[in-house]
Structure 1
Amino acid sequence: MPMDLAQLAAQLAIALAGAGLAYQVLALVALRAFFARPLAGERSAPPLSILKPLYGDEPRLGENLASFLAQDYTGPVQMVCGTNSRSDAAVPVAQALIATHPQHDIALHRGPRLPGANGKMGNLAAMMQMVQHDTLVLSDSDMVVGPDYLSRISAALDQPGVGAVSCLYVGRGDAGFWSKLGAVIISLHTMPNMVVGLSTGMAQPCMGSTIALRRDVLDEIGGFASFTDVLADDHAIGAAVRESGLRVDVPPMLLVHAGAEGSAKALWRQHLRWAVTVRDLAGAGHYGSLITHALPLSLLAALVAPPAGGALLLATLAFRLVLGWRVARLSPVRLPLWLLPAADLFAFAVFCGSLIARNVDWRGEALTIQPHGRIASTEARQATPVARDE
């Protein structure tokens, strides 16, 4: 009987490793096809407002925000930055941005946010009172873009039947080793998985990297206030847009996620929150994503089922490196490919942790996961008097 169990374990390990290797081949094919698609041609340049919800200071925050101002877009552009309180550490950064870019239309809203466990959505809902234009581009504070960003986003949103536009991204890592490890996970695991999901129709992502939509569409889905108790706010916005009869377009372009995780603990919390979010959205499909962790699966096969497992390990490592090379050619920033094995093992550990986690952390605030993707904060924030700068 022990021998039978050992043989069964070896066969299972080989099967999983083989499935993981096949998935890597699929990811390579999907990447090539996705980024070979043409971008939508620009037909107009409507006035637009960029919404930047801020929470605390981050490495290179001012530089990241400034990338959204250094655009070749020909239409009027407003940027609205918002914080949850007037004492937020991001306020001086936003004020410095205003002072150093007097030629740009930049507004700063300094709280309070609307109530709800999702502080980002509460912040955005409060910021809307300062928004001037009807085309809105929401983007997280840790994103970096090139000078053609707004032109490409506007063109994608101008397509018939499109209600929102979102963007894929790679990582950069601005806070040392752990943030660079996270950047490799984003670039060589998360992003390719999104491309596979888009290519096969198994995923319909809408990401905080970019959500561009028109004001009337936002009003139709209930505004940002409708999402103040939702964990996966970006996904929920995309789902609401699709339910209204419009589609979410993801153009073949890559933004850059700055990354500010300065420790293993911070990186774990960040990626665990993302993984738990995916688990609650995908349900049983999250367990099926086990095969996306090809390198750890092949390592396990090599340990319990040599020599076949060893051959699978070498083949998988080769395909992972080829995929890394492919992404590196597409990426606007350099990727530390030497971190790939460690990144894959860390991502697998996060996946395992996500199977049992019930609480997540968002920038130091503990959130409890409730049914249907709702969240509740375990630490109530104190509202502060409203203060506005323009």
Structure 2
Amino acid sequence: MLTLGTIKRFFKRKPTRNPFTPPVSVLKPVRGLEKNLLRNLKTIATQDYPDYQVIYSVQDPQDPAYPILKEIQQELGKERISVVISTVEAGANGKVNNLLGAIQEARHDIIIISDSDTYLQPDYIKNIVNPLANPDVGCVCTPFKVTKADTWYEKMELLTMNADFMPSVMFAEVTGASNSCLGPSIAIRRSTLDQLGGLESLADYLVEDYEIGRRVWTSGQKMVLLPYIIDVVVDLASWKNWWSHQVYWDQNTYLARPAAFISTILIRSIPFALIFSFLRWDIIGLGVLTATILVRVITAAMVAKEIGDKETIKSLYLLPFRDAVGLIFWALAFTQRTVIWRGVEFKLTSHGKMVRNRLIQN
């Protein structure tokens, strides 16, 4: 209930609206054919905003997404839409490498970095840019909810983000427990980004979005988490992809905020209620487990209803299982120190950087 109360407070924090509509460059890194890709990409190209450019970027001229980018460009014109092919390899982070090609085409100081799997409403740019009217604001990001989950493992991914991670982020924001910078949707001045070291300096960080935020708030500027939710379309090929992504996600969180991540053990109620019921194996243990599951599911349903998230409500039957295996992912975050990107294994350092380990043979 405390989480529900903080989420209500979060969305009551309406930002001051002003006529601030500067020209904007949107960087949209793309790789491969994702679910609903054309539909998602067009939402940034059809915004209700007076002056902006969209830069789609790929790193491989044979990328199957490339024809889709050219199709959008042909439909909406080269004045608004740029398509970049760049093979820059400044570091281990593939997204940052892709962005380095895109930013070379940016015409404006205000930059939006928007992931390819996001579905955006027509007022998105207007909302995310607005806080930058305040010169003390260094960076703006938005919460997100996962959508379009078709399989059981995509629904498990959805529950991780919508019923666990995002409520925790909003709780931390309202209570001041920690700061966040969420990668799917970021707005920042290019001049600010350059002062913080530029994109090149982020190329070896696994969690480049958190590193951007960390540099912003340690420089004395404000980091704004906007009370405006965007949709992120989930696309997982198999349950193994889901498993790997869950471990990867907890690795990210641990490396970015070790103390906060370790403390989450205290709020993992279902797995500990399950262990308690197994140890007792009586009516009391079963009662504790049943009550814990009911409170967790009802609270998650109330949170989802508050933000209009019908898909999470329909998937709540999987929440006890998701929470139970979540303890495994939490534990693996302390033991696994490698991540694989494009067939190359990288070792994770204590500072959140990736160091090339070895080539993975197919």
- TM-score (norm. length: structure 2): 0.91
Secondary structure class of the residue paired with 1:86: coil
Match of 1:369 in 2: 348
Secondary structure class of the residue paired with 2:16: coil
Shift of residue 307, structure 1, vs aligned partner:
4.4
Pair 1:217-2:192 in alignment: yes
CA distance in 2, matches of 1:377, 1:367: 4
Count of equivalent residues: 356
Instruction: Assess, with a 3 A threshold, how the Cα gap between structure 1 residues 149 and 357 changes in structure 2: closer, same or farther.
Output: same
Pair 1:334-2:317 in alignment: no
Secondary structure class of the residue paired with 1:130: coil
Shift of residue 149, structure 1, vs aligned partner:
1.1
Matches within 5 A, 1:58-207: 58-73=34-49, 75-102=50-77, 105-174=80-149, 176-207=151-182
Secondary structure class of the residue paired with 1:152: helix
Match of 1:316 in 2: 292
Shift of residue 208, structure 1, vs aligned partner:
0.8
Shift of residue 190, structure 1, vs aligned partner:
0.9
RMSD of aligned Cα (Å): 2.2
Instruction: Assess, with a 3 A threshold, how the Cα gap between structure 1 residues 378 and 357 changes in structure 2: closer, same or farther.
Output: same
> After alignment, is 305-314 or 116-125 more displaced?
305-314
Percent identity of paired positions between Structure 1 and Structure 2: 28
CA distance in 2, matches of 1:182, 1:352: 18
Shift of residue 137, structure 1, vs aligned partner:
0.6
CA distance in 1, matches of 2:171, 2:9: 10
Instruction: Assess, with a 3 A threshold, how the Cα gap between structure 1 residues 103 and 55 changes in structure 2: closer, same or farther.
Output: closer
Counterpart residue type for residue 142 of structure 2: C
Shift of residue 94, structure 1, vs aligned partner:
1.4
Secondary structure class of the residue paired with 1:79: strand
Match of 2:26 in 1: 50
Match of 1:276 in 2: 251
Shift of residue 363, structure 1, vs aligned partner:
6.1
Secondary structure class of the residue paired with 1:371: coil
Counterpart residue type for residue 224 of structure 1: L
Would the aligned equivalents of 1:170 and 1:331 in 2 still touch at CA under 8 Å? no
Counterpart residue type for residue 373 of structure 1: G
Shift of residue 97, structure 1, vs aligned partner:
2.0
Match of 2:14 in 1: 38
Instruction: Assess, with a 3 A threshold, how the Cα gap between structure 1 residues 131 and 333 changes in structure 2: closer, same or farther.
Output: farther
Instruction: Assess, with a 3 A threshold, how the Cα gap between structure 1 residues 233 and 110 changes in structure 2: closer, same or farther.
Output: same
Counterpart residue type for residue 140 of structure 2: V
> After alignment, is 37-46 or 190-199 more displaced?
37-46
> After alignment, is 144-153 or 306-315 more displaced?
306-315
Instruction: Assess, with a 3 A threshold, how the Cα gap between structure 1 residues 257 and 379 changes in structure 2: closer, same or farther.
Output: farther
CA distance in 2, matches of 1:364, 1:146: 35
Shift of residue 157, structure 1, vs aligned partner:
2.3
Instruction: Assess, with a 3 A threshold, how the Cα gap between structure 1 residues 198 and 311 changes in structure 2: closer, same or farther.
Output: farther
Shift of residue 378, structure 1, vs aligned partner:
3.8
Match of 1:244 in 2: 219
Secondary structure class of the residue paired with 2:27: strand
Counterpart residue type for residue 216 of structure 2: V
Shift of residue 380, structure 1, vs aligned partner:
6.7
CA distance in 2, matches of 1:338, 1:203: 30
Counterpart residue type for residue 21 of structure 2: A
In the TM superposition, what whole-angstrom CA distance separates every residue of 1:41-81 from its partner, at most 9, and x where no partner exists?
Answer: 133111101111112221111111111123222x2111111
Larger RCO (CA under 8 A, 6+ residues apart): 1
Instruction: Assess, with a 3 A threshold, how the Cα gap between structure 1 residues 308 and 155 changes in structure 2: closer, same or farther.
Output: farther
In the TM superposition, what whole-angstrom CA distance separates every residue of 1:155-211 from its partner, at most 9, and x where no partner exists?
Answer: 122235211001111111455332222112110011111112212222211011111
Would the aligned equivalents of 1:188 and 1:323 in 2 still touch at CA under 8 Å? no
Match of 1:13 in 2: none
Secondary structure class of the residue paired with 1:122: helix
Shift of residue 379, structure 1, vs aligned partner:
5.5
Counterpart residue type for residue 55 of structure 2: V
**Unpaired stretches in structure 2, ≥5 consecutive residues:** none
Match of 2:260 in 1: 285
Pair 1:343-2:322 in alignment: yes
> After alignment, is 45-54 or 193-202 more displaced?
193-202
Instruction: Assess, with a 3 A threshold, how the Cα gap between structure 1 residues 40 and 95 changes in structure 2: closer, same or farther.
Output: same
